[in-house]
Amino acid sequence: MTVSIKDVARQAGVSIASVSRVISGKPGVGSATEARIRKIMEDLNYRPNLGARGLVKQQTGNIAIIVPRGSFTLNNPFFSTVIDGIAKGIDQSDYNIVMSFSSAQQKKLLENKSVDGIILFSPRSEEFRLEWLENLGLPTVVIGSYIDDSPFPCVRPSDTDGIDQAVHALYERGHRHIGLVNEPMSSMHSVKCWEGYHQALQRLHLGPGSNDMLELNEFDVNASDRSVAAFFRSRPTMTGIVCASDYLAIGIMRIAATMGLSIPEDLSVIGADDVPIASLLTPALSSVQVDLPGIGQEATRMLIDLLTGKHVDSKNLVFPMTYIDRETTRNTEH
């Protein structure tokens, strides 16, 4: 059914070697025969079988995007925005993107020699052990915060500094009791955010404040209404909240509304990452901006450099974050 290099060769009355040569643009074919072969390929509508080629060249032409299960949900705008950047980066190349959605399938995908490289969204320790990843022997670049001494190049926002900025912004607006809503600490991202929060409190002499971080049990805020409500209720003097992501902040805004808290009158809220919808919400979400598509694009470039043996310049690319003041923050008298 499917037309192969053999069919072309037979039709053209040449050996498959010659056909293969014109396909891969290698020299050593008379221009007359080349023309003939080209014509036959056209007539027969020949298309190379990438699988077969991959078998001999030991490469697949595929890149895996691995998003931790659970935070998955392409709907999480953090991922979709970064992936838009990846799309842009990959357009220039000949690679395709392969994705799996369950953790078991992701593992299989990476083990089965069906990809040449990996773009890994900040993995959580429970899901992918570092040793296991290294054992794969695949070029890998990590997006987002990850183990500090990991062997993989990494592209990420300056989370620590970003959260620090957010706390400072609140401080400047008169807030003195500032909380942090964070994802489970099993994610390195959460640790970085915690560090930024802690560092800011210290610099501002606001005390340790470790009591004022809410560590969610799930990665999805919307599964945590009760603990969020309890957190707010038990801290009546708290006037400002910094969230580890916009996604979190949006959930917080929703929960606050159901509790009868109005933002920013009763509570100032700041997100992180500044995803596109942040500015569309009402009140528009104050956030810490970072070039999310840029991160995706740079990570892709790095991986492709790795794949093509080019020298990869910097092992750690940190994108700056800058506070954006919108409508969820307001001055308060303390």
Partner DNA sequence: TTGTAGGCGTTATCAC
Partner DNA sequence: GTGATAACGCCTACAA
Binding footprint of its own copies on the chain (CB under 8 A):
1-2, 45, 47-52, 54-55, 58, 60-62, 72-75, 77, 79-81, 83-84, 87-88, 90-91, 94, 96-102, 105, 108-109, 111-114, 135, 137, 250, 254, 276-277, 280-283
- How many angstroms separate the CA atoms of 302 and 110, rounded? 19
Phi, psi of 113 (to 5 degrees): 55, 35
Q: Do 185 and 194 meet the contact criterion of CB atoms below 8 Å apart?
A: yes
Pick the closer one to its own copies by CB: 134 or 172.
Answer: 134
Residue 15: which of DNA, its own copies, none does it interact with, CB under 5 to 8 A by kind?
DNA
Residue 34: which of DNA, its own copies, none does it interact with, CB under 5 to 8 A by kind?
DNA
Q: Report, in Å, the least distance between residue 164 CB and its own copies.
A: 28
Paired residues of 181 in beta bridges:
214, 243
Q: For residue 9, what are its two tokens? A: 């060769």
Q: Do 292 and 143 meet the contact criterion of CB atoms below 8 Å apart?
A: no
Binding window for DNA (CB under 7 A); candidates: 56-64, 143-151, 256-264, 306-314: 56-64
First vs last C-alpha separation in the chain:
78
Collapse the DSSP code of 35 into the 3-class scheme (helix H, G, I; strand E, B; otherwise coil) and give the result. Answer: helix
Q: Report, in Å, the least distance between residue 50 CB and its own copies.
A: 4
Neighbour tally for 297: CB within 10 Å = 22
Q: Report, in Å, the least distance between residue 40 CB and DNA.
A: 13
Q: Is 10 in the site for DNA (CB under 7 A)?
A: no
| Amino acid letter, residue 301 | R
Q: Report, in Å, the least distance between residue 10 CB and its own copies.
A: 20
Pick the closer one to DNA by CB: 59 or 199.
Answer: 59
Residue 109: which of its own copies, DNA, none does it interact with, CB under 5 to 8 A by kind?
its own copies
- How many angstroms separate the CA atoms of 23 and 59, rounded? 18
Chain positions 23 to 52 lying near DNA, rule: CB under 7 A, are: 23-24, 26-30, 32-34, 46-49, 52
Pick the closer one to its own copies by CB: 201 or 324.
Answer: 324
Pick the closer one to DNA by CB: 9 or 253.
Answer: 9
DSSP state of 273: B
3-state DSSP helix/strand/coil % of the chain, to nearest 5: 45, 15, 40
Q: Do 219 and 249 meet the contact criterion of CB atoms below 8 Å apart?
A: no
Q: Is 53 in the site for DNA (CB under 7 A)?
A: yes
Residue 16: which of DNA, its own copies, none does it interact with, CB under 5 to 8 A by kind?
DNA
Residue 225 C-alpha from the chain's centroid: 26
Q: For residue 268, what are its two tokens? A: 């100032």
Q: Is 320 in the site for DNA (CB under 7 A)?
A: no
Q: For residue 247, what are its two tokens? A: 């996604």
| Binding-site ranges for DNA (CB under 7 A) | 2, 4-6, 13-18, 20-21, 23-24, 26-30, 32-34, 46-49, 52-53, 55-58
